[in-house]
């Protein structure tokens, strides 16, 4: 779960900015989320404070926001398409 500065679960909208770390394996992790455009210095402070190793970082905004499925026992359309 992503948390913003006050450590409460964050709402995602089109103004959201996500700092994502990418490992050499290609694995991605959301490191931090802002509800506004962060200053470069704020982004750099978050990166500098990390103990994990990442090969690159991306500061992103969502282009699509899709709700999670309500019934956890039902397969999503994507899972059905993959045969899972």
Q: Which residues have a Cβ under 8 Å from the Cβ of 3 and sit 6 or more positions away?
A: 9, 10, 33
Each residue's pLDDT tens digit, 13-35: 889 999 999 999 999 999 999 99
Q: What is the mean pLDDT of residues 53-80?
A: 80
> What is the H or E stretch that residue 29 is in?
strand 28-34
Closest CA to 63 of 16, 9, 8: 16
The mean predicted confidence, pLDDT, of the chain is: 83
Structural contact between residues 30 and 17, judged by C-beta atoms closer than 8 angstroms: no
Q: For the whole model, what pTM was predicted?
A: 0.69
Q: How far is 16 from 3, CA to CA, in rounded Å? A: 12
Calculate what percentage of the chain has a pLDDT beyond 70: 73
């Amino acid at each position: 779960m992503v948390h913003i500065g006050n450590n409460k679960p964050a709402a995602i909208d089109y103004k959201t900015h996500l700092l994502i770390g990418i490992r050499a394996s290609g694995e991605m992790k959301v490191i931090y989320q802002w509800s506004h455009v962060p200053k470069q210095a704020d982004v750099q402070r978050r990166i500098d404070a990390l103990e994990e190793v990442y090969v690159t970082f991306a500061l992103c905004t969502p282009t699509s926001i899709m709700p999670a499925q309500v019934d956890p026992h039902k397969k999503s359309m994507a899972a059905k398409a993959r045969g899972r």
